[in-house]
Structure 1
Amino acid sequence: MYGNDATHADPRRWAMFVVLLVGAFLPPLDFFIVNVALPSIREELGASASVEQLVISSYAALYAVTLITGGRLGDIYGRGRVFFLGLMGFACASLVCGFAGSPWVLVAGRALQGLTAAVMAPQALASVQAIFPESEKPLALSLYGAVFGLAAVIGQALGGVLISLDVMGLGWRAIFLLNLPVAVLVVLFGLPLLKETRALHASKLDLGGMALSMVSLAALIVPLIVGREAGWPWWSWLSLGAMPLLVWLFWRYETRLGRMGGKPLLDPAALQAPGLGRSLLTALTLYSIGVFFLLFSVYQQQALNASPLSAGLVFLPFGAGFLLGPLSTPWGRRMIGDYVNPLGMALESIAVLGLVWLISATPTGVQPDSVLLGVLLFVIGLGQGLALPTLMRMVTGRVAPAYSGMIAGIASSTLQVSTSLSVAVIGGVFYTVLGSRTDPAAITQAFTVASVCIAVCLATGAGLSLTLAWQPAASAPARRVSDGARAGTGT
């Protein structure tokens, strides 16, 4: 077992963490990198609008519904082993996408990408609790937050760059094939380096809980992602109506399994930690910013006639802020403690409203002042960079290390659900306001209304996180668990 001080911690822990951070970097990178490539994909493969939506939604849906299971697999079978299996699967799925000859092959490859990404991604966050002493966890979580957020920004910019360069005549295919050399390098350097960590008393996977959790999340995510594009058919409403019943069945099954001495996928004991529910609700509001990337790209390209490259590069100030935010978090925590999180979300909300004001004050079809736009995007990124790692610490720090994989999966799944909800709900507001119009004035109006919705969600999250700051995670009783549930290292 790793100790709680640096003296007993593994001297290779930072090198190990760098390897695991690839698992945090690739999933959001591949989610966002597709946005600017969709026109090229549609042109080459002849994809319809609905299939084009599936290229994004198949990845998002499979990723969201599998994250909890992916985190639990790492707890049971070893986080390093599961990480590499997920990484190799992700590389194979990227190969399928890169050489897809039809839209449906691409959709299948994207679904496989989402599935394997969910196996790989939770291992980095879970390993923070296992390999780092308490004194180093804030910095590790800050770096995790920086990499996670920058992947989203780099994805937007890199997609535009690769398509513009047309590397080796690959066009949009390069955005998927780029994952292959990255995966090979990580395996070559990471296999001899990574030391295994897992829950000390490993148990069999809760197959019943896994199936019920995936079905419950799918009942929410799939209709939200696909329903609007399909015109809200009857099955989407039936699925949403069945979701509460499925969640109840899942919770009852897990509670009963725990009482019988089994090892549930989602241990009810861990979820009783004070403040955990509010921290997950805060996470649900944090990624309301997820739809901003898509809608701002639409505004740039369709209202301002910007190129895909320009629409991607405009996010670079956001990336600079997101890099600075997590790196400033340890200093911020020393100054104001857990109030860093509400401060970050409040900054985001204010800056988004500032962007609404700037666009509204600019003549229709004219690019807003580049300096003010850059500053506002920087502040949005800074706020997100401050909020994300501190929120992850609030979530994972409220449970014992034995549950770190499970909670990492839940936290990551909550963020993905947040993104899906923002795309479905706030994106729905955008398209409702837009209606059948396609002129720059209508697009601008729809974007500003949707941005106000984003700002309200972020402000709500800031208020919720204020209550969490009054109850520090370190004092949560759930961190004191029985000997049979303590975490340690694998053999």
Structure 2
Amino acid sequence: MKASTNLSTAGHGGSADARRWLALCVLLAGTLLPPLDFFIVNVALPAIQADLQATPSLAQLVVSVYAAAYAVTLILGGRLGDLYGRKRMFIAGMLGFGAASALCGCAPSPGVLVAGRLLQGISAAVMAPQSLASIHAIFPAGEKARALGMYGATFGAASVAGQLLGGVLVSADLFGLGWRAAFLINLPVIALAIPAAIAWVRDSRAEQAARLDVVGALLLAAGLLALVVPLIEGRERGWPAWCVGVLALAPPLLLAFWRCEQRQERGGGAPLVPPSALASTGLRRSLAASFFFYTLAPFFLVFAVYEQAGLGHDALSAGLAVLPLGIGFLLGPFSSAAVTRRLGADTAAFALGLEVVGVLAVAGLAWVDAPGWLPAPLFLIGLGQGMALPALVRLNVDQVDARWAGLAAGLVNATLQISAAVSTAIIGGLFFALSSRGTGPGAVKAAFPVALLAIGAGLGLAAVLSRKARARP
């Protein structure tokens, strides 16, 4: 099933693309927008609910429908780039994201806003994987760690800037737009990025044309929806019967998808996720490491509750308290390249070890009620997270053929999104179950270290798996 490619030969011993650093700037814009939009809208949600008179459940859909659509279509988005050209899909995704942002910014009702968020999530899933796959294709091996460091730093920038920018845009009320500016701010970025992508980004894809696996795409979308939607909505709604029923459908749907892919490949077809691409034990372990890496996702939720309900701080103080973690996340990726030169494939394990130390230190300080010492371990968590992300990304992508770079990018991103939903449901559920058993701040303070121990266990498992998952030379 080996296919020839017209990929840039940068990563395989040929001449490097002279425009690769300019292209990277454009690609990172496509990396920044999806998480930035998630964080901005979280901050703007109260203003949206008040202005559109949305019910709490409908307001929650503004967040959850975007997260679900993004997670469900990431693998499909990555595969589309492999088949039809990553530059083409990047531009198409960016155009769709811009149109959806305009629809959200002009939405006259909550229903229209939810529809716009659905389209945003799908467009983001088409756009985002092309950035990672294109970096893999156009950068020489000696520069790839630096490029991936900048890729990882972009996520850190999105997490910090999203929360700050959302608050600034809503409170500034630019041109009387209020919360709508949180969506419309995407348009000038996209208007600049699309012409730059046309001029600077080099296209790459599998040379042999293949038809899209429609049946596989539908089965995968159905299976992931059945998994992700209940996990996102279940805790918020108290786990109604429909959530449990839909969640029970996920395993048979995903099993049917896998059997369909096996039949396709045996018959000489072009499956959406070729089983042979996942034959590598190292790739399976690195994907598992990526899954447990994002057990940190519920930390932001439980930390915010601990700061406000446990320590009695206001929302602004709680937001500022997590700032050391954001700073560490911004700096971590820039350290990743230097550490990679010394540790190679063990960089991810080392960085995850830093996170474990930081999480356990926060748990210990919370247990002895010494919150004044939290900034240092919070910075350590962010530093490890920022360093581990590009290292894990490379660990995954380097273990597949270049023709499957888009697939690998989609798999990594989808794994992270699904992990965020699963870990938030499980660890967040544990935290709220424990904190509800008592009364007052003391119950929250007691539940917080337990949740952190669960997060630390997940990160420790990620470190072990990444240590065993050796990237190919």
Q: Same fold (TM over 0.5)?
A: yes
Aligned to 1:50: 57
Offset of residue 308 of structure 1: 4.5
1:447-486 to 2 correspondence within 5 Å?
447-468=448-469, 472-475=470-473
Offset of residue 396 of structure 1: 0.6
Aligned to 1:393: 394
Label 1:235 to 1:206 Cα distance change in 2 as closer, same or farther (>3 A): same
In 1: Cα distance, 2:176 partner to 2:316 partner: 17
**2:255 is paired with a residue of what secondary structure?**
helix
1:123-162 to 2 correspondence within 5 Å?
123-162=130-169
1:255-294 to 2 correspondence within 5 Å?
255-294=262-301
Are residue 171 (structure 1) and residue 178 (structure 2) matched?
A: yes
TM-score between the two structures when normalised by the length of structure 1: 0.89
2:8 to 2, 22, 29: 2
Aligned to 2:441: 440
**1:11 is paired with a residue of what secondary structure?**
coil
Identity of aligned residues (%): 50
1:118 to 107, 120, 125: 125
Label 1:269 to 1:13 Cα distance change in 2 as closer, same or farther (>3 A): same
Aligned to 1:427: 428
In 2: Cα distance, 1:26 partner to 1:446 partner: 34
Label 1:383 to 1:331 Cα distance change in 2 as closer, same or farther (>3 A): same
**1:466 is paired with a residue of what secondary structure?**
helix
In 2: Cα distance, 1:100 partner to 1:295 partner: 32
Given that residues 158 and 312 in structure 1 are in contact (C-alpha distance below 8 angstroms), is that contact kept between their aligned partners in structure 2?
Answer: no
TM-score between the two structures when normalised by the length of structure 2: 0.93
In 2: Cα distance, 1:71 partner to 1:336 partner: 29
In 2: Cα distance, 1:64 partner to 1:171 partner: 29
Are residue 78 (structure 1) and residue 103 (structure 2) matched?
A: no
Offset of residue 272 of structure 1: 0.2
Given that residues 76 and 198 in structure 1 are in contact (C-alpha distance below 8 angstroms), is that contact kept between their aligned partners in structure 2?
Answer: yes
- Amino acid in the other structure paired with 1:199: A
Can you list the C-alpha shifts for 1:353-384, whole angstroms capped at 9, x where unaligned? 22222233337xxxx32xx3322221111000
Can you list the C-alpha shifts for 1:55-77, whole angstroms capped at 9, x where unaligned? 22111111011000000111111
2:360 to 339, 348, 353: 353
Are residue 254 (structure 1) and residue 254 (structure 2) matched?
A: no
- Structure 1: 5+ residue runs without aligned partners? 476-491
Given that residues 287 and 418 in structure 1 are in contact (C-alpha distance below 8 angstroms), is that contact kept between their aligned partners in structure 2?
Answer: yes
Offset of residue 257 of structure 1: 0.8
Label 1:431 to 1:99 Cα distance change in 2 as closer, same or farther (>3 A): farther
- Structure 2: 5+ residue runs without aligned partners? 1-6
Are residue 31 (structure 1) and residue 31 (structure 2) matched?
A: no
Given that residues 322 and 382 in structure 1 are in contact (C-alpha distance below 8 angstroms), is that contact kept between their aligned partners in structure 2?
Answer: yes
In 1: Cα distance, 2:94 partner to 2:177 partner: 23
Offset of residue 441 of structure 1: 3.4
Aligned to 1:483: none
Aligned to 1:221: 228
Given that residues 157 and 315 in structure 1 are in contact (C-alpha distance below 8 angstroms), is that contact kept between their aligned partners in structure 2?
Answer: no
Answer with 339-348 or 436-445: which moved more: 436-445
Offset of residue 256 of structure 1: 0.9
Aligned to 2:377: 376
Offset of residue 436 of structure 1: 8.3
Offset of residue 319 of structure 1: 2.5
Higher helix share: 2
Offset of residue 385 of structure 1: 1.1
Are residue 231 (structure 1) and residue 238 (structure 2) matched?
A: yes
Given that residues 345 and 471 in structure 2 are in contact (C-alpha distance below 8 angstroms), is that contact kept between their aligned partners in structure 1?
Answer: no
Offset of residue 302 of structure 1: 4.4
Are residue 316 (structure 1) and residue 323 (structure 2) matched?
A: yes
In 2: Cα distance, 1:391 partner to 1:293 partner: 21
Given that residues 153 and 315 in structure 1 are in contact (C-alpha distance below 8 angstroms), is that contact kept between their aligned partners in structure 2?
Answer: no
Answer with 287-296 or 33-42: which moved more: 33-42
Given that residues 79 and 197 in structure 1 are in contact (C-alpha distance below 8 angstroms), is that contact kept between their aligned partners in structure 2?
Answer: yes
Given that residues 8 and 204 in structure 2 are in contact (C-alpha distance below 8 angstroms), is that contact kept between their aligned partners in structure 1?
Answer: no
Label 1:176 to 1:223 Cα distance change in 2 as closer, same or farther (>3 A): same
Given that residues 100 and 116 in structure 2 are in contact (C-alpha distance below 8 angstroms), is that contact kept between their aligned partners in structure 1?
Answer: yes
Are residue 101 (structure 1) and residue 102 (structure 2) matched?
A: no
Answer with 268-277 or 48-57: which moved more: 48-57
In 2: Cα distance, 1:441 partner to 1:359 partner: 11
Answer with 78-87 or 445-454: which moved more: 445-454
Aligned to 1:481: none
**2:268 is paired with a residue of what secondary structure?**
coil
Aligned to 1:414: 415
Answer with 270-279 or 102-111: which moved more: 102-111
Given that residues 352 and 385 in structure 2 are in contact (C-alpha distance below 8 angstroms), is that contact kept between their aligned partners in structure 1?
Answer: yes
- Amino acid in the other structure paired with 1:448: P
- Amino acid in the other structure paired with 2:69: L
Offset of residue 215 of structure 1: 0.8
Answer with 76-85 or 287-296: which moved more: 287-296
In 2: Cα distance, 1:315 partner to 1:178 partner: 25
Answer with 299-308 or 114-123: which moved more: 299-308
**2:236 is paired with a residue of what secondary structure?**
coil
In 2: Cα distance, 1:60 partner to 1:18 partner: 25
Label 1:445 to 1:44 Cα distance change in 2 as closer, same or farther (>3 A): farther
Aligned to 2:200: 193
In 2: Cα distance, 1:310 partner to 1:192 partner: 44
Can you list the C-alpha shifts for 1:121-166, whole angstroms capped at 9, x where unaligned? 0001111221112222222222111112321222223223333333
Given that residues 366 and 448 in structure 2 are in contact (C-alpha distance below 8 angstroms), is that contact kept between their aligned partners in structure 1?
Answer: no
- Amino acid in the other structure paired with 2:173: D
Given that residues 157 and 309 in structure 1 are in contact (C-alpha distance below 8 angstroms), is that contact kept between their aligned partners in structure 2?
Answer: no
- Amino acid in the other structure paired with 1:385: G
